[in-house]
Every structure is written in C-alpha cells, then in structure tokens.
Amino acid sequence: MFKQITSVNPFQIRRQGTRAKALLALAVVSFLWGTTWLASKAGVQYMPALQLAGIRQFIGGLLYFIYFTIKGRSLPKGNQWWPVITLSFLNFFLSNGLSTWGVKYISSGLAAIIGAIVPLWVVLFAMIGGNSKLTPASAIGFILGFTGICIIFYDHLHDFLNADFRFGILVSVGATLSWALGTLYTKKQVSAFNPYFSIGLQMIISGIALTGVTRLTGDHIPISTIPLPAWLAIAYLAVLGSVVTFMAYIYALQHLPTEQVSIYAYINPIVAVLMGTWIFDEKLNAYIAVGGLVALVGVYLVNDAYRKKKDQPASQ
C-alpha cells in the first residue's frame, strides 16, 4: 500500500488514471489530517480553544455550504434536520471541540494517538448494542491497544500530578467517545440525508453553538485582537484540514476499497508525533514510539476483524 502511494508522481497526475489520483488523494488525507493536530496546538497558544474551534468550524462549514449550494444540493427538510443536528453535536461541538481543547494541555502527538483509538470504541459500542461479537483477532487487538496505551502513559505517570494534564487527557478521551457514537449514528442515518452536504451544515451549527458557549462563559477574546498566527492556524484548519482534505477523502472512498482508505487512520498519529517533535520539540522516546505502534497494531486488528465480520453475508 505504501509502495503504491509513493509510486504516484504528483507532477504528472493529470496524465495518470483515476486510481493514481485516488492514491494521491489518500496520501493527502494521510498527511494533512495528521498535521491538523499541530495546527490546533499552534492556534490554542494564542486564543481560547473552544473559540478557535468555533471559528474554524463556521468558516469551514460556510465553504462547504457555498460549494454544495452551487452544485444544486437542497437543504434538508422536516425530520431530515434531526440527524444533522445530532451529528453537529456529536462530531463537531463535542468531538472536535473537546479534541481542540485537549491539545492546549497535552502534546499534539499524544492527542493524535488517543484520537486513533476511535475504532476500538466503535467496535465496543457495536458489541454492547449486539451488532458485533468478540472474535479472537479483535480480542488480541483490544489487548494490544490497551497495552500500547499503558506503555505510553507509563512514561507520563508523573504528569498525572498536573491537573491540566489530567484534564487534557480526559477531554481528549471524551472526544473519541463522541466521535465513535457519531460514527455509529451516521451508519444508521446515512440513507436519510446526504452525509457530505450535511457536513457543512453540521459545522455551521456547531460553530455557532461553540461561539455561543464562549460568549456565555466569557472564555473568548475580541475578534480584533486575535493575532495573525492564530488566524493562520484557523485558515489552515478550515481550508486544508476541513475542506480540501475531506474532499480528497471522499474522492479516495469513491475510487478505492474502504479497507485501503482506512490506512489514513494509522498514518495520521505518526505524522502528528514526528512533526510535533520537529516543530514543537515535543518529547519522543521509546515509550511513546513503541507504545504508539503497539496501540495502532491493536486498533488495526480490531478494525479489520470488525470490517470482515460486517462484510460476511448473513446466515440464512
């Protein structure tokens, strides 16, 4: 898979076929979504985290809305609004808001590794709901995932004495739980609305809601005082992190097998950890490297077992 991606020449992409373009789109997703953790980390150094998330979501959602309106997509009607509102709360107000808040207190690499455990929650919630069963492969995956997280946090035991660090871990884990619930809800409601157009609506709604929260709590700074580095982070997150990358993700999903596209989830944390070490001088040692890889292998095994179970035909 890595060989296929690296064999694509981006300078000759116009001359290459659809598959080559889809592989390039997947490479874009794998890299850019990994860098969004760093952009969030950079932005929250200059302004409140929830205010940054609200502005980022509103701008990104507005760009989506304009694009799909030009393409002739119509707004949801009646009960179609409920899935949009529910997902705006789960995926953006809670998940993106909390994950942005989390990187204010923990490293972007650690936040990205925590974010990568979403598939574990998805499978666990599916098992609780009776939609999945624990297989030997997924059991090993759960054990490896838990072991990897323990290895990482062994090096951070002393950090748990810091209330800010504990809070950063708590909200980051909360973000993964919310995204997992949103993922399962999307699968149930996907036929009721256009999931791609609704992304923009979800972001606009949550962006307004988050801005309202920051106004009510007083945790905001005047728009006129937001410094240039924060605006650059917002622009990066809204345009590249939300619009360009998601469009690339959709294109990759349309032209590549789902299991191939899912590789982005395992590359994102690696990108975040390596670039966090380079740009922010975040700690990278054997505990983080080994623990992160073990956790990602566990997540892969659980995700792969769940996908194979889902693809099996129902017994007669």
On whether the CB atoms of residues 89 and 204 are closer than 8 A, the answer is no
Task: Give the chain's count of helices (H) and strands (E).
Answer: 15, 0
Give percent above pLDDT 70 in the chain.
Answer: 85
Work out the mean pLDDT of the chain and round it to a whole number: 84
- Decide which of 221 and 312 is more confident: 221
pLDDT over 80 at 143, yes or no? yes
CA distance 181 to 160: 27
Provide the pLDDT for residue 92.
Answer: 93
Can you give the pTM of this predicted structure? 0.83
CA distance 212 to 98: 15
On whether the CB atoms of residues 244 and 32 are closer than 8 A, the answer is yes
Provide the pLDDT for residue 282.
Answer: 81
pLDDT over 90 at 303, yes or no? no
Indicate the pLDDT class of residue 199, thresholds 50, 70 and 90: confident
On whether the CB atoms of residues 101 and 171 are closer than 8 A, the answer is yes
Show the 3-state SS of 190-214: HHHCCHHHHHHHHHHHHHHHHHHHH
Q: Single out the residue of 102, 121, 98, 118 nearest to residue 110, CA to CA.
A: 102
Provide the pLDDT for residue 193.
Answer: 57
pLDDT over 90 at 83, yes or no? no
* Average pLDDT value for residue range 55-65: 94
On whether the CB atoms of residues 303 and 262 are closer than 8 A, the answer is yes
Lowest pLDDT segment from 97-101, 259-263, 273-277, 293-297 = 259-263
Per-residue pLDDT reduced to its tens digit, 290-300:
888 888 888 88
On whether the CB atoms of residues 113 and 145 are closer than 8 A, the answer is no
Indicate the pLDDT class of residue 54, thresholds 50, 70 and 90: very high
pLDDT over 80 at 85, yes or no? yes
- Per-domain boundaries in the chain: 16-310
pLDDT over 90 at 4, yes or no? no
Per-residue pLDDT reduced to its tens digit, 211-259:
999 999 999 999 999 999 999 999 999 999 988 888 888 888 788 876 6
C-alpha distances out from residue 231 to 19, 34, 66, 75, 202, Å = 35, 19, 21, 30, 22
CA distance 42 to 104: 9
H-run or E-run covering 235: helix 228-235
Provide the pLDDT for residue 284.
Answer: 78
Indicate the pLDDT class of residue 9, thresholds 50, 70 and 90: very low
Radius of gyration of the chain (CA): 19
CA distance 103 to 160: 15
CA distance 246 to 55: 18
pLDDT over 80 at 308, yes or no? no
* Average pLDDT value for residue range 67-83: 84
Per-residue pLDDT reduced to its tens digit, 146-164:
888 888 878 778 888 899 9
- Decide which of 25 and 50 is more confident: 50
